[in-house]
Amino acid sequence: LDVKTLSVAIRFLWTKSPEQRATVDLDTHYSEEYLEECIGPNTRRATLYQQEYVKGISATGMQFNYGFEGQLNACWTHKLTRKEIELIRSAGFLVLVIHGRRLAEKLHPVARMIELHGGHLVSHERTEEVNQEIIELIKASEVSINPNEWTNLPKKKSGWIGPRVTLIRINTEGGSNFSIVLYVLSRLNIFLLYLFGVIVLAFEYERRVLKSLKPVKVGPSLALDDS
């Protein structure tokens, strides 16, 4: 959980116009470097903003609150159970994971983890790299490569903890507690993300309730003369 994530989430919550929503969507979908790259006389941000995002949102209308709440609910509550993880691992196919180290580690050894610099639409921003990785996945699947040869993740070992600290071993002989601190911090980060999602959902629910209770303004009645 960092300042940029909080900033985007708050701005997303308060968007009221297609122009505001387009700005937030661009910051979510792409990296700053990609958006500020010049394409002809304008930056890519300016081109996408005018020609695609504002025009597209204006044509379809702003997202309903139900859609927004559904997205938040999916982000904060969706998870794979241990049974589902084991089902994928034992299904007999290889997995390519892009930007999801915790998931990739759970799917070891059938998963390969790829980290590419980019935003939510990394497949648009790093098209060549993503396509190349998919081609490698197809080739490996066609020759039925051994999962241990496919994965690029380290083997799980006893004495190693947490998805965020897999490269830091616990010192069991009374040395540094650095790895334990990192483990606690990683869990705190997850808790803060979940807490923020709950607060946003509660705020949206309260706003809808207050809006439904708001009295309707009625104009002055017109007196009719029957004479």
Helix (H, G, I), strand (E, B) or coil at 160: strand
Residue 218, domain member (yes or no): no
In the chain, the amino acid numbered 224 is L
User: Do 168 and 209 fall into the same domain?
Assistant: yes
So what's the pLDDT on residue 171?
A: 44
Query: What pLDDT, on a 0 to 100 scale, did the predictor assign at position 142?
Result: 95
Q: What is the DSSP letter of 53?
A: I
Is the same domain home to 188 and 150? Answer: no
Q: What are phi and psi of 52, to 5 degrees?
A: -120, -55
Q: Which of 30, 63, 96 is the last residue of a domain?
A: 63
Co-location of 48 and 91 in the same domain: no
Write down the pLDDT at residue 161.
42
Given 107, 126, 156, the domain boundary residue is 156
Query: What does residue 98 show for φ and ψ, rounded to 5 degrees?
Result: -115, 120
Q: Are residues 142 and 95 in the same domain?
A: yes
Domain membership of residue 22 as a residue range: 3-63
Distances in Å between the Cα of 146 and the Cα atoms of 84, 96, 107, 110, 221 are 21, 14, 14, 9, 80
Instruction: Label residue 131 exposed, middle or buried (CB < 10 Å: 0-12, 13-18, 19+).
Output: exposed
Say if residue 151 is in the same domain as residue 162: no
* 147 and 176 inside one domain: no
Query: How far apart are alpha carbons 133 and 55 in whole angstroms?
Result: 33
**Whether residue 49 is found in the same domain as residue 93:** no
Is there a domain that residue 71 lies in? Answer: no
Low-confidence stretches of the chain (pLDDT < 50) are 158-176, 222, 227
Among 132, 156, 180, give the residue marking a domain's end: 156
Tell me how many domains the chain contains: 3
159 φ/ψ sector (left φ>0, alpha ψ -120 to 50, else beta)? left
The answer to whether the CB of 30 falls within 8 A of the CB of 116 is no
**86-115 core/surface letters (b: 16 or more CB in 10 A; e: else):** eeebeeeebbbbbeeeebbbbbbbbbbbbe
pLDDT at 190: 67
- 74 inside domain: no
